Amino acid sequence: MFLINCPYCGEREQSEFSCGGEAHISRPKNPPDTSDDQWADYLFMRKNIKGVQFERWNHSSGCRQWFNVVRNTSTDEILGIYNMGEAIPEIDGENPKTPSGEPEIGSGNISTSFKKK
Amino acid sequence: MHKKPKRYSIFSLIRNALSYHENWQPAWRSPEPKKEYDAIIIGGGGHGLTTAYYLAKNYGLTNIAVLEKGWIGGGNTGRNTTIIRSNYLWDQSAGLYEHALKLWEGMSQELNYNVMFSQRGVMNVAHTLHDVRELKRRWHANRLNDIDCEWLDTNKVKEFCPIINTSQNIRYPVLGATLQRRAGTARHDAVAWGYARGADAMGVDIIQNCEVTSINVKNGQVSGVETTKGQINSKKIGVVTAGHSSVIADMVGIRLPLESRPLQALVSEPVKPIINTVVMSNTIHAYVSQSDKGELVIGAGTDGYISYSQRGGFNIVEDTIAAVVELFPLFSRMKMLRHWGGIVDICPDASPIVSKTHIKGLYFNCGWGTGGFKATPGSGWVFAHTIANDEPHKLNAPFTLNRFSSGELVDEHGAAAVAH
């Protein structure tokens, strides 16, 4: 359980929001030329990242607006919030660690989109 | 080869009692990893250990290592609500889960290890007209697949489980239920320990505290893994890492259709035997049974977002407790003792993936989502077949990774019993 700072309403409990999953997935531009594998990739395959994830949230029990959230999925810490349609922001900081104190090595904790200071 | 472990029996119990239980041999060894194995299983949970066990038993592959990041059975094997049943809707799932249920029935004898399998029945309760139709459809589907299942009307539900609230004046009244009498529960840790002991006895190396950091691939064929205990070579690698499957897949650039989310469960203080079966409700989202220790074991739902944190939202627990109390008002003053979360890998069609990949020698067994425990022996059985023969067993042939391209999904959202 965590708090999300809705850009329109302010800080509210996570239970007021619905997660729309991974952000920045775009529909194939040319459907007739898209193979079954490419459709499967678009429809079903997900990064499901352990570490910094860019994802969509909707304030479904509030203002019902969509926005993007940068969240560390191994600690549920929110690192940033930005509007729909905006480019992926650059996030700087220490590599995220898991709550159980697992070593960074190999745990997938080092996200590709997370720059170490 | 190492010394064969001694069988457990009434005589070994007496013998060890006379020596103050100080001479029991460890249930499995803790060897250092060799340089090379015929097969490596990544993940020492229930499914990984059964895979190793059946590879050794059914296919004579004993030069195997099971690599576990933490300790065996410390992940979802030790975090589930231990429900075992096979009343799934579709033929494909029915085949797989029923095969597992049959293996459960002989497991304690086969392993010489008491897994406390108790066929106390699982009751799926209907609360709306839609539930009734859906559950009756599943009841008929089960009967056609030779799986025991019966329909109970409200009075029979009350007769079978007297403490359930069958008042018609509650928000979601009990309109009936399906009952699978062969279903039940088992002691989850014992399953991991029993299979670990069984696999170890056949020569399988169980290596704990050994985390895989990367997978080596040469010319489209796996050659081994890098671990926190050094490089280990093998031409066959089976990945059975549940919630962390996407993390392992990412090491070799494979994309999986999985989302890893926290699933919570909780147990109450222990009380005298009060509930004689497993009660599950899809609509109000509650499932509850009683452990042999006397604790109520209550399963909650998943959180609606990806997280590896092994902890979920309190609101999910609150909703579950509200549902349980409506069904069983006499539990309203029970105190809850412990509460935890596990990370489950949910597939878009709520069915597992037990599959080869485009990399030769690399196999994945994942996507069991919220209901993998019941499948533990069956999952290992078919995955061992897939690894040994480089071809899926007929029971897991429908559960390949390719089904997401071909569209042959096995949609079990209904029969996953509770909607997640």
Tell me the C-alpha distance between B232 and B221, whole Å.
15
Summarize pLDDT for B335-345 with one digit per residue, the tens.
Answer: 999 999 999 99
Contact B312 A13 (CB under 8 A): no
Side chain identity, residue B367: G
Tell me the C-alpha distance between A97 and A100, whole Å.
8
Contact A46 B314 (CB under 8 A): no
Contact A105 B312 (CB under 8 A): no
Query: What pLDDT, on a 0 to 100 scale, did the predictor assign at position B343?
Result: 93
Q: Are B50 and B193 spatial neighbours (Cβ–Cβ below 8 Å)?
A: no
* Backbone phi and psi for residue B322, each to the nearest 5 degrees, phi listed first: -60, -40
Query: What pLDDT, on a 0 to 100 scale, did the predictor assign at position A94?
Result: 57
Please give the mean pLDDT across all residues of chain B.
94
- Which residue of A48, A49, A72, A113 to mutate against B (max B Cβ within 10 Å)? A48
* Backbone phi and psi for residue B255, each to the nearest 5 degrees, phi listed first: -100, 135
Side chain identity, residue B327: L
Query: What pLDDT, on a 0 to 100 scale, did the predictor assign at position B1?
Result: 47
Minimum CA–CA partner of B209 in chain A: A102
pLDDT level of residue B3 (50, 70, 90 thresholds): low
Q: Which of B213, B308, B312 sits opposite A50 (nearest CB)?
A: B308
What does the pLDDT average to over B20-43?
95
Nearest CA-CA distance, residue B269 and chain A, Å: 24
Contact A48 B312 (CB under 8 A): no
Q: Are B310 and B303 spatial neighbours (Cβ–Cβ below 8 Å)?
A: no
Dump the DSSP string for B270-323: --SS---SEEEETTTTEEEEE-TTS-EEEEEEE-SS---SS---HHHHHHHHHH
Cβ–Cβ contacts within 10 Å for residue A93, how many? Answer: 13
Q: Which residues of B touch A50 (CB under 8 A)?
A: 244, 246-247, 260, 308
Residues 6+ apart with CB under 8 A from B387: B39, B51, B55, B236, B238, B363
How far is Cα of residue B172 from the mean position of the Cα atoms in its chain? 29
Query: What pLDDT, on a 0 to 100 scale, did the predictor assign at position A72?
Result: 85
Q: Which of B213, B246, B258 sits opposite A106 (nearest CB)?
A: B213
Nearest CA-CA distance, residue B314 and chain A, Å: 6
Dump the DSSP string for B71-133: STT-SGGGTS--EE----SSHHHHHHHHHHHHHHHTHHHHHTS----B---EEEEE-SHHHHH
Q: Distance of CA B247 to CAs A108, B336, B359, Å?
A: 6, 34, 16
Strands B122-126 and B362-366 come out as unpaired
Query: What pLDDT, on a 0 to 100 scale, did the predictor assign at position A102?
Result: 53
Residue B156's H or E segment, with its range, is helix B154-160
Q: Which residues of A touch B244 (CB under 8 A)?
A: 50, 108
Minimum CA–CA partner of B408 in chain A: A40
Contact A105 B211 (CB under 8 A): yes
Query: What pLDDT, on a 0 to 100 scale, did the predictor assign at position A114?
Result: 47
Query: What pLDDT, on a 0 to 100 scale, did the predictor assign at position B6?
Result: 84
Interface of B with A (CB under 8 A): 69, 211-214, 228, 244, 246-247, 250, 255-260, 304-315, 345, 348, 404-407
What does the pLDDT average to over A14-23?
96
pLDDT level of residue B73 (50, 70, 90 thresholds): confident
Q: Which residues of A touch B312 (CB under 8 A)?
A: 1
Tell me the C-alpha distance between B51 and A33, whole Å.
41
Whether B356 has a pLDDT exceeding 90, the answer reads: yes
Query: What pLDDT, on a 0 to 100 scale, did the predictor assign at position A14?
Result: 95
Interface of A with B (CB under 8 A): 1, 13-15, 18-19, 21-22, 36-37, 39-41, 43-50, 53, 55, 73-76, 98-100, 102-103, 105-108
Whether B376 has a pLDDT exceeding 50, the answer reads: yes
How many CB pairs lie under 8 A apart between chains A and B?
Answer: 96
CATH number of A3-111: 3.30.2270.10
Return the SS3 of B266: strand
Contact A49 B306 (CB under 8 A): yes
Of A14-28, A85-99, B140-154, B247-261, the poorest mean pLDDT is in A85-99
More confident residue, B146 or B418: B146
Q: Which residues of A touch B309 (CB under 8 A)?
A: 73-76, 98-99
Q: Are B139 and B178 spatial neighbours (Cβ–Cβ below 8 Å)?
A: yes
Domain ranges of chain A: 3-111
Strands B278-281 and B122-126 come out as parallel
Tell me the C-alpha distance between B160 and B53, whole Å.
38
Return the SS3 of A4: strand
Nearest CA-CA distance, residue A50 and chain B, Å: 6
Contact A106 B310 (CB under 8 A): no
Whether B105 has a pLDDT exceeding 80, the answer reads: yes
Please give the mean pLDDT across all residues of chain A.
83
pTM for this prediction = 0.93
Q: Which of A56, A67, A59 is nearest to A12 (CA)?
A: A59
